[in-house]
A and B are shown apart, each in its own frame.
Chain A
């Protein structure tokens, strides 16, 4: 099981912020939240990951609620090239936890984000 729930699709206007939600109500204390995206006909691309603090990099920001049961990926200024399927994944992090089934990067169906001109 993917252990996350995402809306199947979302639309966003070019230049506006895209806010992609993800529910992970059964997340464990040692599980991280990862986001990947997949542009049509390409392999998935890593975006960002976090444990409990908000994270930001050159691609996006990740906001995790205090109870860690949900998170939001924010693309601050969406462009047409951001049209893709976005996957929210929870998995155990840390080298000491690299074994077992909960180590796997298990993809669900994700959210198809369409950025419109």
Chain B
């Protein structure tokens, strides 16, 4: 069974440019998460979806970040415009039972903003 798939794996852009990350969760997982991980730190939750609904987006910087999960399957996280401080790894995870047992993470998308 395929795990959580993320793309692109690496992205280098100049500041003020837009960027988008895509995530395909494990089939049947209704809960999807986007995490941000800065170098040397643990992952921090940006947004959590239950099916199509964003049930927790309190940590998402809404002035430049947006996310969507149309049809309750795959999801896109967008940054527009990107700033130097956005350089980080963006991790997507999914779970079946609202995360009670286990979250399954993708390999992440590493963003470098120049």
> Which A residues have a C-beta under 8 Å from some C-beta of B?
2, 36, 41-46, 49, 85, 87, 93-95, 98-99, 101, 103-110
Contact = CB atoms under 8 A, between A and B. Distances in A.
29 contacts: A2-B42, A42-B105, A42-B107, A42-B108, A43-B4, A43-B91, A43-B93, A43-B107, A44-B93, A44-B105, A46-B102, A46-B104, A87-B42, A93-B100, A95-B98, A95-B100, A98-B98, A98-B99, A98-B100, A104-B56, A105-B45, A105-B99, A105-B103, A107-B42, A107-B44, A108-B42, A109-B41, A109-B42, A110-B42
A100 to B, nearest CB: 9
B100 A106 contact: no
A94 B100 CA distance: 6
Count class of interface residues, chain B: 20 to 34
B-side interface mostly: loop
Interface of B: 4, 40-45, 48, 55-56, 58, 91, 93, 97-108
Contacts of B41: 109
Contacts of B45: 104-106
A109 B107 contact: no
Given A104-B56, A106-B45, A43 B97 contact: no
